[in-house]
Structure 1
Amino acid sequence: MNLEKYRVSNKIQLNNFKTKEVIEDANKALKKLRKKISKLQDAMYAEGKYSVLICLQGMDTSGKDSLIREVFKDVNARGVQVHSFKVPTELELKHDFLWRHYIALPAKGKIGVFNRTHYENVLVTRVHPNYILGENIPTVKKIEEVDDTFFYNRMDRINDFEKHISDNGTIVLKFFLNLSKEEQKNRLLRRLNIPEKNWKFSAGDLKERKLWDKYMFCYEDLLNRTSKENAPWFILPADDKPTVRLILAEILLKELKKYNFKEPTLPKKVLDQIDDFKTQLNNE
């Protein structure tokens, strides 16, 4: 599999990327990869030098929740932390826009998954600039000041944030689940047609769907402005769920292998006494 074709390395146009690929036996292949990811996380935890931040973005129904469940099913439960960022709370609004994301970062040895991320601050707020007024920013007095320059500045701050955490041992990998508008329609209808799925449906989903083109413009812009060597974006075809899960797992495995995580060895003084320790335990 050519995984580099999904990486945003140069300026891109979203409509040049497929929304659907189908890999046969993707579920079977994913089972094998899950075990390998688990072993890498164990080694990373033992080494204690790095953490991993996985950022997931995508339109409603793009499959983020089920992807997290299936890809990380075999990883030690204590080794994966998932954060889903909703509308900022009153406390969060009393801080800068990156504060709530910074305090949710994974500790060394762990994998952190942001289900919706700090990029909502240059995505949803760009589609709905009136949301910015609720942040009570001293330099923003009126809606006209929430312009492109405002969001370009925010993206620069996000680049700085990701550079800072990557310099300090956080491996940052960002994935945009590229869903087609037609497939979103099918998934929304499924939520309406299957009674036990009704709870997932929100009338707000239809309102946001009407803004599809604006969202795609904002996504394309942020992908081009914030995909860096230290924090790359990958655009994954999301119409087929088993396939997108497998591709993400393949990319994750490939990227983590670059770090050659090693479990620490015991000091020689302790190693020399291992046989004695065994004898003590066996003689109890």
Structure 2
Amino acid sequence: MKDIKSKLKVDQGKKFNLKDYDPAYSADLKKEDAEGILQGLVAEISELQNQLYAANKQSLLIIFQAMDAAGKDSAIKHTMSGINPQGCQVYSFKQPSTEDYDHDFLWRHYKALPERGRIGIHNRSHYENVLVVKVHPEYVLKESIPGIDSVKKVDKDFWAQRYESIRQFEKHLTANGTVIIKFFLNLSKEEQKERFLKRIDDPSKNWKFSAADLQERGYWDDYMQAYEKAISETSTTDCPWYVIPADKKWFTRVAISTIVLDTLKGLKMAYPELSDDDKTRLDGIKTELVNSK
């Protein structure tokens, strides 16, 4: 388990190919052991979250991106099950609204950033603007960007600038105390098919399935190319991407929790310490309370 973080991390500057990452990888971990390991990780994350909240100096932003049915919702539910809700903010981004389109593409995501001392979870994120929009460049026209009046104008230079905007956005956040972890849940096309069929066969899961899901599945290869390019362009030393195997949900949860825990440990946090004067005053208050009726 110690090697999970380094194995799944995409290092800046190194050649990156999604085909080198096995969606069914499980690090020789056995399914029957996974739940116990996960509970231990969740307990440690909970304690460190308390320290993060108490210190109120940094924040943690966790980004989840994936194809439909990769298990983002269940991963968030299980890996963050021990988190104090007061110190956690979860946002699920849908299609941009009219108000969103009246601003730059990062605006609505900036508004959803976690405050100092808190963990923010973005279920989908600003990366949709180089993923879904890359596969469907006609969406760019809704942004009313000066000079971009046709799909032909959405060229290599446009995408290069958009990747640069994302890198600078994340660099700014990091410099101001927000630690960023980015997870791509790497689901195989075969496993997605099985999960779609389960959603159709199980009445309690019918609501999760949409005809649009099947339509987007038809663009699978285009999405894989978009993910590969986005991850390659934006995985930096300070804001790395992790390609998480998603065919086995039990391993997905353990891998995510391992990386979150290791990241929190790296912050080297501690509970705030009182000054000598404050300690003296606290002792006086304690004495007063002990002697009170």
Q: Structure 1 length normalisation: TM-score?
A: 0.98
The residue that corresponds to 1:12 in the other structure is 16
The residue that corresponds to 2:62 in the other structure is 54
2:89 aligned with 1:81: yes
2:127 aligned with 1:124: no
2:241 aligned with 1:233: yes
CA distance in 2, matches of 1:156, 1:213: 24
CA distance in 2, matches of 1:168, 1:7: 23
1:276 partner amino acid: G
Give 1:275 shift.
3.4
For 1:104-115, what aligned pairs fall within 5 Å after superposition? 104-115=112-123
2:10 partner amino acid: V
CA deviations over 1:65-122 (Å, ceiling 9, x no partner): 0111111111101111111111101111110000000111000000001100100000
CA deviations over 1:248-284 (Å, ceiling 9, x no partner): 1101111111111111111211212433322221223
1:216 partner amino acid: M
2:151 aligned with 1:133: no
The residue that corresponds to 2:162 in the other structure is 154
SS of the equivalent of 1:66 reads: helix
CA distance in 1, matches of 2:269, 2:147: 45
CA distance in 2, matches of 1:148, 1:253: 38
CA distance in 2, matches of 1:178, 1:36: 26
Give 1:48 shift.
1.2
SS of the equivalent of 1:86 reads: coil
2:148 aligned with 1:144: no
CA distance in 2, matches of 1:101, 1:177: 20
2:108 aligned with 1:100: yes
| Gap runs ≥5 in structure 1 | none
CA distance in 2, matches of 1:279, 1:263: 24
1:16 partner amino acid: D
- Equivalent residue in structure 2 for 1:44, among 52, 64, 78: 52
Give 1:150 shift.
1.1
Q: Higher mean Cα deviation, 153-162 or 15-24?
A: 15-24
SS of the equivalent of 2:182 reads: strand
2:114 partner amino acid: P
The residue that corresponds to 1:91 in the other structure is 99
2:200 partner amino acid: L
Q: Structure 2 length normalisation: TM-score?
A: 0.95
CA deviations over 1:11-48 (Å, ceiling 9, x no partner): 21101101013422112111111111111111111111
2:7 partner amino acid: K
- Runs in 1 of length 4+ with deviation above 4 angstroms? none
CA distance in 1, matches of 2:94, 2:160: 22
SS of the equivalent of 2:98 reads: coil
CA distance in 2, matches of 1:273, 1:98: 47
Aligned length in residues: 284
* Percent identity of paired positions between Structure 1 and Structure 2: 46
The residue that corresponds to 1:242 in the other structure is 250
CA distance in 1, matches of 2:86, 2:229: 35
Q: CA RMSD in A?
A: 1.0
CA deviations over 1:154-188 (Å, ceiling 9, x no partner): 01100000000000000011010000000000000
| Gap runs ≥5 in structure 2 | none
CA distance in 2, matches of 1:38, 1:46: 12
2:208 aligned with 1:200: yes
CA distance in 1, matches of 2:269, 2:122: 23
SS of the equivalent of 2:207 reads: helix
SS of the equivalent of 1:91 reads: helix
SS of the equivalent of 1:140 reads: coil
SS of the equivalent of 1:173 reads: strand
The residue that corresponds to 2:261 in the other structure is 253
SS of the equivalent of 1:225 reads: helix
The residue that corresponds to 2:176 in the other structure is 168
